[in-house]
Amino acid sequence: MAGRKDFLRHIVNRVLASSNLPRQVVDDIRKFVGRAEDKYKFNAFGGDVRKLADYLNSKDFDDLVTLVKGVKTEKGEEPAVEVLKKILMEAREAYKDIPEVVEAVDRRLRELEGEAAPSKDRLEMLYRSLKDLEREGVKLRLDKEKHSVEITYGDKLRAIVKFSKKADAETYVLEYSIKDEEVLDNISSVVDRVKALLRMVKS
């Protein structure tokens, strides 16, 4: 990826430097993106800029969106949201030949413009956010016909996630079952373990 613009240094920092956002907001945005760069390794200097798509599709980017939406003027304007839009548009141009990044940027821009993402987009974002679990032996399957993501781990875990949108509320319904076996030494241990399982189910 030699010669690529770096998302944090060449795009985010430059846009923030030319903005009129309060210093604390600029520092917070830079801090959020910096932590994400360490986690997702999307920097252009030894990393992989394609991984920017993973960040844009993640809960970590949701947190950044929440941060910028919390910055409002007395007139109700959202200047930090406009700055984030500019960052995304510049990233789209810089990485226009990387389809997964363009797709993730467009999805986030639609959200920031107030357009609700269709359920299939939400599920694809969820699927991408869970991909790291495959390194631990978890198997994922995105079922577009059933609008669900299936998650399995050997014969011990079976789970399915469905996206639900009702009125203004968006939720994810997670159904799961866990199969396990333990060998315990005495009745007291069995009672304690059953109580612990019951507390987990009730919580």
Most confident of 38-42, 70-74, 121-125, 195-199: 38-42
DSSP string, 95-133: TTT-HHHHHHHHHHHHHHTTPPPPHHHHHHHHHHHHGGG
Mean pLDDT of 99-127: 79
**pTM, 2 dp:** 0.62
Give the model's pLDDT for residue 61.
93
Give the model's pLDDT for residue 42.
95
Q: Per-residue pLDDT tens for 10-30?
A: 999 999 999 999 999 999 999
Burial label, 191 (beta-carbon count in 10 A; 0-12, 13-18, 19+)? exposed
List the domain boundaries for the chain.
1-115, 117-203
Has residue 119 got a pLDDT over 70? no
Has residue 9 got a pLDDT over 90? yes
Has residue 34 got a pLDDT over 70? yes
Most confident of 2-6, 35-39, 69-73, 129-133: 35-39
Q: Answer yes or no: are the C-beta atoms of 57 and 128 closer than 8 Å.
A: yes
Check residues 21 and 123 and name the one with the higher pLDDT.
21
Task: Tell me the pLDDT of the chain averaged across its residues.
Answer: 88
Compute the half-sphere exposure of residue 169: CA atoms within 13 Å on the CB side of its CA.
Answer: 5
Mean pLDDT of 117-136: 76
Of 95-104, 115-124, 126-135, 148-157, least confident by mean pLDDT is 115-124
